[in-house]
Amino acid sequence: MSLETARTEYLNVDDVRFAFRRLGPTAGTPLILLQHFTGTMDAWDPAVADGLAATRPVIAFNNLGIGTSTGRTPDTVEQMAADAGTFIRGLGLSKVDLVGFSLGGMLAQVLAMQHPSLIRKIVIAGAAPRGGEEHLLAVVEDAFAQGAPDVRLPLFFTPSEKSQRAGQAFVARATARTQDRDPDSGDDVSVPQAKAIIGWCAVKDEGDTTLRAIAQPALIVHGSDDTMFPSINAYNMFKAMKNAQFVLYPDSGHGAVFQYPETFVAHCHTFLDA
Amino acid sequence: MSLETARTEYLNVDDVRFAFRRLGPTAGTPLILLQHFTGTMDAWDPAVADGLAATRPVIAFNNLGIGTSTGRTPDTVEQMAADAGTFIRGLGLSKVDLVGFSLGGMLAQVLAMQHPSLIRKIVIAGAAPRGGEEHLLAVVEDAFAQGAPDVRLPLFFTPSEKSQRAGQAFVARATARTQDRDPDSGDDVSVPQAKAIIGWCAVKDEGDTTLRAIAQPALIVHGSDDTMFPSINAYNMFKAMKNAQFVLYPDSGHGAVFQYPETFVAHCHTFLDA
Residues of A (168-207) whose Cβ lies below 8 Å from B = none
Q: Which of A249, A250, A270 sits opposite B267 (nearest CB)?
A: A270
Residues 6 or more apart from B96 whose CB is under 8 A from it?
B29, B30, B31, B32, B88, B118, B119, B120
Contact A224 B239 (CB under 8 A): yes
| Mean pLDDT, rounded, for A136-147 | 96
Q: How many Cβ atoms sit within 10 Å of the Cβ of residue A129?
A: 26
Average pLDDT over every residue of B206-218: 96
Residues on chain A touching B267 (C-beta within 8 angstroms): 267, 270
- Beta-strand relationship, B96-101 and B58-62: unpaired
In the predicted model, is pLDDT for residue B1 greater than 90? Answer: no
Q: Please judge whether B248 and A267 are an interchain contact, meaning their C-beta atoms are less than 8 angstroms apart.
A: no
Confidence of residue A16 (pLDDT cuts 50, 70, 90): very high
- Segment 241-260 of chain A within 8 Å of chain B by CB: 241-251
ipTM of predicted assembly, 2 dp? 0.94
Report how far residue B37's alpha carbon sits from residue B115's, in angstroms, rounded to the nearest whole number: 23
pLDDT tens digits for B70-97? 999 999 999 999 999 999 999 999 999 9
Instruction: Calculate mean pLDDT across residues A82-88.
Output: 98
Please write the tens of the pLDDT for every residue from A90-117: 999 999 999 999 999 999 999 999 999 9
Rounded Cα–Cα distance for residues B139 and B77 (Å): 20
Q: What is the mean pLDDT of residues B107-114?
A: 98
Distance (Å, rounded) from C-alpha A83 to C-alpha A193?
14
The CA distance from B171 to B162, in Å, is: 14
% of residues, chain A, pLDDT over 90: 100
Chain B residues with CB under 8 Å of A235 CB are 235
Q: Which residues of A touch B226 (CB under 8 A)?
A: none
Average pLDDT over residues A38-43: 98
| Nearest-Cα residue of chain B relative to residue A223 | B245
B181 three-class SS = coil
Q: What is the least distance, in Å, from the CA of B253 to any CA of chain A?
A: 14
Chain B closest-CA separation from residue A16 CA (Å):
40
Q: Report residue A1's pLDDT band, with 50, 70 and 90 as the boundaries.
A: confident
Domains annotated on chain B, with CATH: 9-273 (3.40.50.1820)
Is residue A122 over pLDDT 90?
yes
Minimum distance, in Å, between the CA of residue A253 and any CA atom of chain B: 14
CB contact under 8 A, A250 and B245: yes
- Tell me if chain B has a CB within 8 Å of the CB of A270: yes
Q: What are the distances in angstroms from CA B230 to CA B105, B127, B132, B233? A: 14, 9, 9, 6
Provide mean pLDDT across the span A16-41: 98
pLDDT, one tens digit per residue, over B161-200 is 999 999 999 999 999 999 999 999 999 999 999 999 999 9
Q: Could you tell me if A161 lies within 8 Å of chain B, comparing CB atoms?
A: no
pTM, two decimals, is 0.96
b/e A87-125 (16+ beta carbons within 10 angstroms → b): bbeebeeeebbbbbbbbbbbbbbbbbbbeeebbbbbbbb
Which chain B residues have a beta carbon less than 8 Å from that of A250?
238, 241-245
Q: Are A181 and A42 in contact (CB under 8 A)?
A: yes
Q: Do A270 and B270 lie within an 8 Å CB cutoff?
A: yes
Do B267 and A263 count as a contact with CB atoms less than 8 A apart? no
Contact residues, chain B, for A266 at CB < 8 Å: 266, 270
Query: Is A215 in the B-facing interface, judged by CB distances under 8 Å?
Result: no
Instruction: Tell me the nearest-neighbour CA distance from A248 into chain B, angstroms.
Output: 5
> Looking at the complex, does the CB of residue B55 fall below 8 Å from at least one CB of chain A?
no
Q: What percent of chain B has pLDDT over 70?
A: 100
| Nearest-by-CA chain A residue for B265 | A270
The C-alpha atoms of residue B125 and residue B74 are separated, in whole angstroms, by 22
| Cβ atoms B184, B40 nearer than 8 A | yes
Q: Do B262 and A246 touch (CB under 8 A)?
A: no
For B138-151, the three-class secondary structure string (H helix, E strand, C coil) is HHHHHHHHCCCCCC
Partner-chain contact A248 B243, CB within 8 Å = no
B37 in Cβ contact with B194 (< 8 Å): yes
Q: Closest Cα to residue B36, out of B257, B265, B271, B272?
A: B257
pLDDT in tens, A171-206: 999 999 999 999 999 999 999 999 999 999 999 999
CB contact under 8 A, B238 and A244: no
Whether B242 sits inside 8 A of A251 (CB atoms) is yes
The answer to whether the CB atoms of B243 and A251 lie below 8 A apart is yes
Residue B257 CB contacts under 8 Å (≥ 6 apart), including other chains: B45, B48, B101, B125, B126, B221, B249, B264
For residues B201 and B129, give the distance between their C-alpha atoms in angstroms, rounded to a whole number.
7
CB contact (8 A) between residue A245 and residue B244: no
Could B270 and A248 be called an inter-chain contact, meaning their C-beta atoms sit closer than 8 Å?
no
8 Å CB contact of A250 and B262: no
**DSSP code for B208:** G
What's phi and psi for A141, nearest 5 deg? -60, -45
- Region B99-113: mean pLDDT is 98
User: Does B262 contact chain A (CB < 8 Å)?
Assistant: yes
Please list the alpha-helical segments (H only) found in chain B: 46-52, 77-90, 103-114, 136-145, 152-156, 161-174, 187-202, 209-212, 231-240, 256-259, 261-273
Of A245, A270, A274, the CB nearest to B248: A245
pLDDT-derived band at B65 (thresholds 50, 70, 90) equals: very high
Look at residue B244 and tell me whether its pLDDT is greater than 90. Answer: yes
Per the CB < 8 A criterion, the answer to whether B234 and B222 are in contact is yes
CB-CB under 8 Å, A250 with B241: yes
For the stretch A225-272, pLDDT in tens is 999 999 999 999 999 999 999 999 999 999 999 999 999 999 999 999
B251 contact residues in A (CB cutoff 8 A): 242-243
Partner-chain residue, chosen from A246, A249, A267, that has the shortest CB–CB distance to B248:
A246
State what percent of residues in chain B have pLDDT above 90.
Answer: 100
Q: Are A94 and A71 in contact (CB under 8 A)?
A: no
CB atoms within 10 A of CB A15: 7
CA dist., res. B221 & res. A257, Å (int):
19
